[in-house]
């Protein structure tokens, strides 16, 4: 029955496409665009129109539906609104980028696809939320300021005055934002471990439905505010994933560049070890090692999180090693490396001043991809119950804990939204990073056709 329906739909679309092409040819007086259009493209246009029509009709029925009927359209409306809101946000961010900034940055923004601008704006939003989830302390502001001063001074001493100015300005803006946020207070209304008096409050904030305006997303089984935990989840999940990726790049990147520069037995030993480690599927190996780590950590939950960071960093550094070694090998054979060697430069000079600057672009793109991978691995481990441990709020764990509420979606869609929000928060960030990386790779590869 369904097959017949689909077949009818396809035939109908082909007919519609033919009509569309025919009218196009008549109206435009046989313009080349319509004259040379294949039936396949015409079918595509027709299908697109049908889908668009379906979306518009469903949307209209959704906003006019009443009572129990409206529940059916709840998630559809959320999806449409979300899509429109994100598109508008990305569009205005791109417009903003073309107006503010230096000539170079303006040009980058002018040629940016909407997906990349969406990605950048989402990444910035996540960074903001994860930094200011809790109350920011004065020491943090001072530390950031000192680090900024040191970096700017080092760059200035290196003889690059403009870059130093840029870095100084960036840190200055960061400190202004931090001071503002210091007085605004934490973004999360409650603490992540705070157990409140009311448990199982329904999301939506409507008292008639069992909600509470004080907890817009409700509370979980033991009475912790879900909104606060989502916000703290940004800090914990993203922060831990970021730290893991940095660690994995420190291990993999330095070993890879060393292997490429020195070659010989070091290269052989590390490469073979990496081959073996990469022959075991990453998630399976991580699960195996987490079993052992959980036995070692015992009841010390924070220790288990530390073990997880190390385990995933080591597993992931094998991939980083592969790439940085390959990139390094391509650079090592260059003439300027030969010249530097003949000048008698040491190993650290070769790696930090000659190889690393030339390997930055591919490593940066890889950093984005590795971050996504690490982030998803940590979320999956938490989802399986062996990742980030309570009481730390974490999105993967939240999905696992709240998942059964999805079954109530048909008659109380707000209830089902909590686990979907946590899972969606994970998906949104990885999608955003992937969009940006895709754009960077496309830009650097110069593939046109």
Partner 1 sequence: MSSVSRIILQRLGLGILTLFIVSIVIFIAVNLLPGDFAQLVLGQGATPEAVEAIRKDLGLDQGLIPRYFQWLGGVLVGDLGNSFANANFASFVGTNANVTAPTVAEQIAPRFEATLFLAGVTAAIAVPLSLTLGILAALYRNSIFDRVTNVFTLSSISSPEFFLAYILILFLAVMNPLLPSLSNIHDGLPFGERLTRTLLPALTLTLAVTAQMMRMTRAAIINLLASPYIEMARLKGLSPLRVIVTHALPNALAPIITVIALNLAYLITGVVVVEVVFVYPGIGQLFVDSVKIRDIPLVQACCLIFAAAYILLNLTADVLSILSNPRLRHPK
Task: Compute CA 286 distance to the chain's CA centroid, rounded to the nearest angstrom.
Answer: 21
Give the C-alpha separation, 402 to 419, whole Å.
5
Q: Between 290 and 327, name the residue whose CB sits nearer to partner 1.
A: 290
Residue 416 CB, nearest approach to partner 1 (Å): 7
End-to-end C-alpha distance for the chain, whole angstroms: 42
Q: Which of 93, 126, 232, 383 binds partner 1 (CB under 8 A)?
A: 383
The residue among 400, 442, 445 whose CA lies nearest residue 418 is 400
Angle at 254 between CA 249 and CA 258, to 5 degrees: 150
Helix 356-384 and helix 413-445, axial crossing angle in degrees, nearest 10: 160
Q: If binding is defined by CB under 8 A, does position 430 make contact with partner 1?
A: yes
The residue among 378, 346, 369 whose CA lies nearest residue 438 is 369
Sole window of 165-173, 198-206, 211-219, 374-382 interacting with partner 1 (rule: CB under 8 A): 374-382
User: Which phi and psi (to 5°) does residue 198 adopt?
Assistant: -100, 125
**Binders of partner 1 among 64-83, rule CB under 8 A?**
72, 75
Q: Between 327 and 422, name the residue whose CB sits nearer to partner 1.
A: 422
Q: Which of 131, 217, 259, 372 binds partner 1 (CB under 8 A)?
A: 372
The residue among 292, 307, 428, 442 whose CA lies nearest residue 372 is 428
**Binders of partner 1 among 268-297, rule CB under 8 A?**
275-277, 279-281, 283-285, 287-292, 295-296
Give the C-alpha separation, 332 to 378, whole Å.
35
The residue among 318, 313, 323 whose CA lies nearest residue 246 is 313
Each residue 332-361 as x (binds partner 1 by CB under 8 A) or -, in order, gives ------------------------------
8-state DSSP, 30? S
Residue 284 CB, nearest approach to partner 1 (Å): 5
- SS3 of 191-247: the string is CCCCCCCCCCCCCCCCHHHCCECCECCCECCCCCEHHHHHHHHHHHHHHHHHHHHHH
8-state DSSP, 403? G
User: Which phi and psi (to 5°) does residue 217 adopt?
Assistant: -105, 10
Q: If binding is defined by CB under 8 A, does position 403 make contact with partner 1?
A: yes
Q: Between 335 and 449, name the residue whose CB sits nearer to partner 1.
A: 449
**Pair 374, 244: CB distance under 8 Å:** yes
Q: Which of 12, 15, 38, 161 binds partner 1 (CB under 8 A)?
A: 38
Q: Between 84 and 292, name the residue whose CB sits nearer to partner 1.
A: 292
Residue 81 CB, nearest approach to partner 1 (Å): 16
Q: Between 152 and 230, name the residue whose CB sits nearer to partner 1.
A: 230
Q: If binding is defined by CB under 8 A, does position 58 make contact with partner 1?
A: no
Residue 413 CB, nearest approach to partner 1 (Å): 9
Q: Which of 25, 98, 115, 330 binds partner 1 (CB under 8 A)?
A: 115
Give the C-alpha separation, 318 to 252, whole Å.
6
Task: Compute CA 183 distance to the chain's CA centroid, rounded to the nearest angstrom.
Answer: 29
Q: If binding is defined by CB under 8 A, does position 205 make contact with partner 1?
A: no
Q: Between 218 and 396, name the residue whose CB sits nearer to partner 1.
A: 396
Sole window of 33-41, 92-100, 259-267, 346-354 interacting with partner 1 (rule: CB under 8 A): 33-41
Q: Between 74 and 215, name the residue whose CB sits nearer to partner 1.
A: 74
Each residue 410-429 as x (binds partner 1 by CB under 8 A) or -, in order, gives x-----x--xx--xx-xx--
Tell me the sheet residues that pair with 325.
none
Judged by the rule CB under 8 A, the positions of this chain that interact with partner 1 are 38, 40-41, 44, 48, 72, 75, 115, 275-277, 279-281, 283-285, 287-292, 295-296, 372, 376, 379-380, 383-386, 396, 399, 403, 406-407, 409-410, 416, 419-420, 423-424, 426-427, 430-431, 433-435, 438, 447, 449
């Amino acid at each position: 029955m369904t097959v017949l329906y689909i077949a009818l739909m396809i035939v109908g679309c082909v007919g519609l496409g033919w009509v569309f092409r025919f009218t196009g040819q008549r109206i435009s007086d046989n313009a080349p665009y319509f004259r040379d259009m294949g039936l396949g493209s015409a079918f595509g246009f027709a299908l697109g129109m049908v889908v668009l029509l379906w979306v518009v009709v469903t949307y209209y029925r959704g906003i006019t539906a009443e009572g129990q009927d409206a529940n059916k359209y709840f998630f559809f409306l959320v999806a449409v609104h979300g899509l429109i809101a994100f598109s508008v946000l990305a569009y205005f961010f791109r417009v903003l980028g073309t107006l503010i900034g230096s000539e170079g940055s303006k040009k980058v923004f002018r040629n940016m696809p909407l997906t990349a601008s969406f990605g950048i704006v989402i990444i910035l939003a996540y960074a903001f939320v994860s930094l200011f989830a809790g109350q920011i302390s004065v020491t943090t502001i001072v530390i950031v300021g000192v680090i900024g001063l040191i970096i700017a001074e080092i760059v200035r001493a290196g003889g690059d005055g403009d870059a130093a100015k840029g870095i100084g300005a960036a840190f200055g803006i960061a400190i202004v934002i931090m001071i503002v946020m210091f007085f605004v207070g934490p973004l999360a209304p409650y603490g992540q471990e705070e157990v409140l008096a009311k448990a199982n409050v329904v999301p939506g904030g409507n008292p008639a439905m069992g909600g509470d305006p004080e907890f817009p997303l409700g509370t979980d089984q033991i009475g912790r505010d879900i909104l606060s935990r989502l916000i703290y989840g940004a800090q914990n999940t993203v922060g831990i994933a970021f730290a893991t990726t940095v660690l994995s790049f420190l291990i993999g990147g330095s070993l890879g560049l060393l292997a490429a520069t020195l070659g010989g037995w070091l290269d052989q030993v590390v490469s073979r070890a990496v081959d073996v480690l990469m022959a075991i599927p990453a998630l399976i190996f991580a699960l195996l090692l987490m079993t052992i780590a959980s036995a070692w950590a015992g009841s010390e939950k924070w220790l288990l999180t530390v073990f997880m960071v190390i385990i995933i960093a080591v597993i992931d550094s094998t991939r980083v090693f592969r790439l940085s070694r390959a990139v390094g090998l391509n650079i090592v054979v260059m003439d300027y490396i030969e010249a530097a060697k003949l000048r008698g430069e040491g190993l650290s000079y070769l790696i930090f001043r000659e190889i690393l600057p030339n390997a930055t672009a591919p490593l940066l793109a890889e950093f984005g991809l590795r971050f996504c991978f690490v982030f998803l691995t940590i979320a999956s481990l938490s989802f399986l119950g062996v990742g980030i441990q309570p009481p730390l709020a974490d999105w993967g764990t939240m999905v696992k804990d709240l998942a059964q509420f999805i079954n109530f979606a048909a008659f109380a869609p707000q209830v089902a939204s909590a686990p979907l929000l946590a899972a969606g928060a994970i998906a949104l960030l990885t999608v955003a990073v992937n969009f940006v990386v895709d754009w960077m790779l496309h830009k650097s590869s110069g593939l046109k056709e």
